[in-house]
Amino acid sequence: MEFTQLSLYDQAILLLAAIVLFTSFIMLAQPRIVPLIHAFAWQGVLLAVTTALVAYVTNNPHLYISAGLNLALKALLIPWMLHRLAVRLNIHRDMEVVKYPSLTLLAGASLVVFSYYVAIPIVQLSALVTRNAIAISIAVILLGMLLMITRKKAISQVIGFMSIENGLFFAAVVSTFGMPMVVELGVAFDVLVAAVLFGVFFFQMRESIDSLDVDRLNRLREVDE
Amino acid sequence: MIHWLLALAQTLLFIAMAPFLLGWIKRVKCHMQNRAAPSLWQPYRDLGKLFRKHVVLAEQASWIFRSTPYIVFGATVVCAALVPLVAVDLPTAAIADVIVLVAFFSLARFFTALAGMDIGTAFGGMGSSRDMMIGALAEPVLLMAVFTLAMTASTTNLSEATTYTLNSGLVLRPSFIFAMLGLMMVAVAETGRVPVDNPATHLELTMVHEAMILEYSGRHLALIEWAGQIKLMIYMVLVANVFFPWGIATRLEANDLAVGLVAIAAKLVLLGVVLVTWETVMAKMRLFRVPQYLGFAFLLSLLGMLTHVVLETGG
């Protein structure tokens, strides 16, 4: 189907999908911690809006619950927790050194191309309006992984991990209009518990190695001197 | 015949209105920064003053230095003739497409850089090298944004692309939004506006475009400045007419032309305010941050193309 023949709502869904992808790139390019958390929160907001729009267009009222859950958890609660952690650990003004920022962005762009090729067979099987966004959701997952690979600070890696979860949620919404509610609730609370655990883990890490740089976990350290 | 006359009139209007647009931008900027604003006609007075003054040439100046202002001005005027301002389907628009437009811009840039080095002062060479660096990074962004447009409209001709967007009505294309943002960022870099270059200072550490034209005076300087104003207007008209073509005249009748004139004036006034807001909230960035800025602009244009392929081509 031609893009111009879609209804404005369908076009808006695809536009929001593109902006979700763009927030992934913003996270990839953002070296500072607090703006990184903000970008992550915006991605959660956009995902919730997209899900609500999909619910409205395809008449799937149960997706409203997913959208609300996503908004409450990934746009408000988890970013707030991460922000509070960053302030309490006194790393909220830190800059992370990203080696080769432009190269990372280009790698991200090639991941988008890759996920497009991966998604072609799925797209051809599907008849949904949102089928073209499947490639975008795979790209968001891969970009989250790339964020985890390129960063050294544990908190950025946690954000990468959460954005992988965003991508999975998005994939479920656009390819099958959401997972069963039990699964969705389970995943949502898993993510919440993970966020809490990561907080504890940050404090442990700082206790033992005085830094949140995961590279320093490789080094051996004498305990009794 | 009437078509050619209209095309000529449109180009002349373009050239004549460019200083006025700059005057408007300066005025809004002054208001936004709580300064007393100069009159809207100040750029015309400046140009008039420069045209009346004598030209001072360095002894070592070669023909390159003397001919560059005319080449730059000529290339920019040809570009202005290619861009649909008030009406589409004018004969001048059919002569060349948007890739030629980019090529004319780089011709002007090439000669300005040569002239900057021709005199042999340190500032000229420094400015040339900086400007070529920015140019080398900005041109791929510009072309990528143009290609996104061309893939959607199946043409590289500006007039036809404008007609295409006009006919398809309100379509929320993700690719157009990214391409527009990329084009806006690169327009700021190419016309030497604030985060990349500051047109209002001659501070030796930071100037880029001003460093190249430091040795020019009199009518040469007037031509180069005027060309710079036209270039700014070309970019703004590109953004206004290609992405928001509503109001542009498709038939060459007095009524439609009047509506087209009012529409483009309103769009340019609004875009001017957007540009000033952007310039006021941004600080001038270090030269070595510019590649990062343009890298981000490139990413935006690239995303425009990718989203076009991924989201908009059926599948």
The predicted-structure confidence for B166-199, as pLDDT tens digits, reads as follows 888 888 888 999 999 999 999 999 988 888 888 7
* Residues of chain A found within 8 Å of residue B171, distances taken between Cβ atoms: 3-4, 11
Question: Confidence class of residue B226 from pLDDT cuts 50, 70 and 90?
Answer: very high
**B74 and chain A: CB distance < 8 Å anywhere?**
no
Tell me whether residues A3 and B313 touch, CB distance under 8 A.
yes
Contact check, Cβ <8 Å, A15/B312: no
In a domain, A18, yes or no: yes
Residue A108 within a domain:
yes
Q: Is residue A109 part of a domain?
A: yes
Contact predicate A29/A147, CB 8 Å = no
pLDDT more than 70, % of chain A:
97
- What local confidence, expressed as pLDDT, does residue A174 receive? 85
- Tell whether A104 is covered by a domain: yes
Of B42-51, B99-108, B117-126, the one with minimum mean pLDDT is: B117-126
Q: Is B172 on the interface with A (CB under 8 A)?
A: yes
Quote the mean pLDDT of chain B: 90
Q: What is the number of structural domains in chain A?
A: 1
Q: Nearest CB to A102: which of B175, B295, B315?
A: B295
Residue A224 lies in a domain: no
CA distance A133 to chain B (A): 7
**pLDDT classification of A220: cutoffs 50, 70, 90:** low
**Minimum-distance CB partner of B168 among A4, A18, A131:** A4
Return the percentage of chain A with pLDDT > 90, whole number: 36
Asked if residue A8 belongs to a domain, the reply is yes
* pLDDT tier at A140, thresholds 50, 70, 90: very high
- How many helices (H) and strands (E) in chain B? 12, 0
Residue A91, pLDDT above cutoff 90: no
In the prediction, which pLDDT does B251 show? 82
- H or E stretch at B232: helix B218-238
Please give the average per-residue pLDDT across A83-90, as a whole number: 87
Q: How confident is the model at residue B69 (pLDDT cuts 50, 70, 90)?
A: very high
pLDDT of B91 reads: 83
Alpha helices in A76-180 (DSSP H): 78-88, 101-125, 133-150, 154-176
Using pLDDT thresholds of 50, 70 and 90, give the confidence band for residue A221: low
Res. B201: pLDDT tops 80:
no
d(CA B74, CA B43): 20
Interface mutation vs chain A, best among B305, B310, B312, B313, most A CBs within 10 Å: B310
In a domain, residue A223? The reply is no
| Sign, CA torsion B290/B296/B301/B302 | positive
The pLDDT assigned to B20 comes to 95
More confident residue, B55 or A124: B55
Q: In angstroms, what separates the C-alpha of B73 from chain A's closest C-alpha?
A: 35
Q: B168 and chain A: CB distance < 8 Å anywhere?
A: yes
CB A47 within 8 A of CB A169: yes
Distances (CA, A) of B255 to B86, B162, B167, B191, B260: 12, 20, 19, 34, 9
Residue B223 has pLDDT above 80, yes or no: yes
What average pLDDT does this structure show over A7-14? 87
Structural domain including B271 reads: 2-311
- Asked, for residue A107, whether it belongs to a domain, the answer is yes
As for how many domains chain B has, the answer is 1
pLDDT at A1 over 70: no
Smallest CA–CA distance, residue B164 to chain A, in Å, is 12
Judged by CB atoms within 8 Å, which residues 273-292 of B form the interface with A? 291-292
By CB neighbour count within 10 A (0-12 exposed, 13-18 middle, 19+ buried), where does B100 fall?
middle
pLDDT at residue A108 in the model: 93
**Predicted confidence band of residue B143 (pLDDT cuts 50, 70, 90):** very high
